[in-house]
Amino acid sequence: MARGVVAFRFVSWVPAARPIHRGPLDPRPGPPPRLGCRAMELRLGKRADYTVRAVLDLARHNDEGRRKAADISGEMDVPASYLPQLLAELVRAGLVRSVAGRKGGYTLARHPADITLLEVIEVAEGAITSTECVLRGGPCRWDDACAIHDPWLRAQEALRRSLSATSFAEIAEIDAALEAADR
């Protein structure tokens, strides 16, 4: 996996037995799972994390005009020295518009409902696909597929479908609701 990575990692026994916190919008029924069981960790690399934060800020302020990089950085806790690189990639990908100068700044190039989480993550990290064999390690050999090959491909496709079905309008709405609940 090149660049930052959307990482899949199997974690064997996690060393605590306290409940995992669930947010108010968690749709899963029943009590939260407990640590101490086999788990699979799914996380974004820093590059994708910061890029998602930047787009979320622009989505939340979509009706307010241009946003300065310093405002995005301060509000979303993205390093000010790194943010211009991320925004430049988003501009090159056609997801963000930029205007230079004193009255310049950044805006989304499309409505937040038309920008998906998958698009933004793939701008930051590249395509979300595993090129490493889950069972054997090393590169995936398409000509000699392992026993986990097809189920793993289906899991990757399910992840891609879920991320592509999630818009930044939805994410901004959930983020605003969580922020309001914290007050």
The pLDDT value recorded for residue 16 is: 40
Determine contact, residues 89/29, Cβ cutoff 8 Å.
no
Return d(Cα 78, Cα 46) in angstroms, integer: 10
Domain assignment present for residue 63? The answer is: yes
On average, the pLDDT of the chain sits at 81
Question: Residue 161 pLDDT > 80, yes or no?
Answer: yes
The pLDDT value recorded for residue 30 is: 56
The pLDDT value recorded for residue 62 is: 95
The pLDDT value recorded for residue 32 is: 53
The residue segments making up the domain with residue 157 are: 6-16+46-182
- Terminal Cα-to-Cα distance of the chain (whole angstroms): 40
Burial of 183: CB neighbours in 10 Å, binned 0-12, 13-18, 19+ = exposed
Domain assignment present for residue 106? The answer is: yes
Give the chain's domain count.
1
pLDDT in tens, 19-75: 444 444 545 555 555 444 444 567 888 999 999 999 999 999 999 999 999 999 999
Q: Which of 89-93, 141-145, 175-179 has the highest mean pLDDT?
A: 89-93
Determine contact, residues 67/97, Cβ cutoff 8 Å.
no
pTM of the model: 0.76
Domain assignment present for residue 159? The answer is: yes
Domain assignment present for residue 144? The answer is: yes
Domain assignment present for residue 41? The answer is: no
123-151 mean pLDDT: 80
Domain assignment present for residue 113? The answer is: yes
Question: What does DSSP assign to residue 101?
Answer: S
6-11 mean pLDDT: 44
Return d(Cα 171, Cα 25) in angstroms, integer: 12
CATH code where residue 145 lies: 1.10.10.10
Domain assignment present for residue 10? The answer is: yes
Domain assignment present for residue 33? The answer is: no
